Amino acid sequence: MSHLAVLLAVLCVGAAAVVATGQLTDDFYDGCCPQAEGIVRARVSAAMKAEARMGASLLRLHFHDCFVNGCDGSILLDGSDSEKLAAPNMNSARGFEVVDAIKADLEKACPGVVSCADILALAAKYGMLLSGGPDYDVLLGRRDGLVANQTGANSNLPGPFDPTSQIVKKFRDVGLNTTDVVVLSGGHTIGRARCALFSRRLSNFSATSSVDPTLDSSLASSLQTLCSGGDGNQTAALDAQSADVFDNHYFQNLLSQKGLLSSDQGLFSSADGIAATKALVQAYSVNSQRFFCDFGRSMVKMGSISPLTGSAGQIRSNCRAVNR
């Protein structure tokens, strides 16, 4: 280990002691890697200039990480039990190369200091912020997990076919509430989804309806054209009004039956949604400031799901593999 790495590690010992009880802090790297956030922001900005969609992809990586084993960077691990191979992530989770580039920059600047789990939290913030979303203080001090959990990824992650009641349960299982369900679903104001995730709404939907009756007919027609004859990997914007802009159009879309995924539209149109989430969808559709404020709060809550702190886990030098 270089003299620089030793010095930086010593500087972080005090910060690590603060989070030994699981309490993350917004100033964790101020003494041992003050340039950390700037490094992450620069790499995310460059990636989004090359592909605006990357902001949404990085946001989703953090979400999918936290719901499995807690926010420990386990989604980044390669191997036979990799969470990348789970059904919700296969051919879907993306942005790993951006995380690799961020990690490489951080290892040059502050070797052995910034965890991959914290990189995901910061990259999600800047992916959303640089798309026009709200600013908020990211709590830091997570350490990296030692194992992936493919089974957990298959069972714990909320899915595009889940009814609202099941999504609410999966959120409650990790300590989040119904408000968090609606707020964090609003992250679908940016990004895209594959036809395979919504095509069942477009034909043979039920015995009485060919097309999902909660899907706007003109949107259904355009999606049928997009997905017809393909392999299911064609993509459509989750928010056709402003695909790469973080705003409250997602909620406005639900009011006009233009939610792309059935899990999204269900928040407004299903029986479960009408009982539990519809009122909040309506509130956010007319009050973007409230949505932005609540989104930052819910991101902090989600980012605090079962973090490894103190001496637990490790700081991976390569986010794809545990240190040997």
* Token output for 20: 């030994």
Distance CA 318, CA 324 (A): 11
Distance CA 41, CA 127 (A): 8
End-to-end alpha carbon distance in the chain: 14
C-alpha separations of 127 from 36, 52, 56, 59, 93 in Å: 15, 9, 6, 6, 15
Distance CA 41, CA 117 (A): 15
Angle subtended by helix axes 178-185 and 262-269, to nearest 10: 130
Exposure string over 146-176, b if 16+ CB within 10 A, otherwise e: bebbbebbbebbbebebebeebbebbeebeb
Distance CA 86, CA 53 (A): 22
Based on the residue annotation, tell me whether 62 is a catalytic residue of this protein.
Answer: no
Q: Which of 263, 224, 257, 258 is nearest to 241 (CA)?
A: 258
For the chain, strand residue ranges (E) read 192-194, 235-237
Looking at the chain, the number of H-run helices and the number of E-run strands are 14, 2
Q: Which of 19, 44, 47, 15 is nearest to 28 (CA)?
A: 15
Cα 160–163–166 angle (5° rounding)?
Answer: 100
Annotated catalytic residue within 62, 64, 188, 249: 64
Instruction: For residue 96, give every residue at least 6 positions away whose Cβ sits within 8 Å of its Cβ, in sequence order, or none.
Output: 61, 76, 84, 320
Catalytic residues: 64
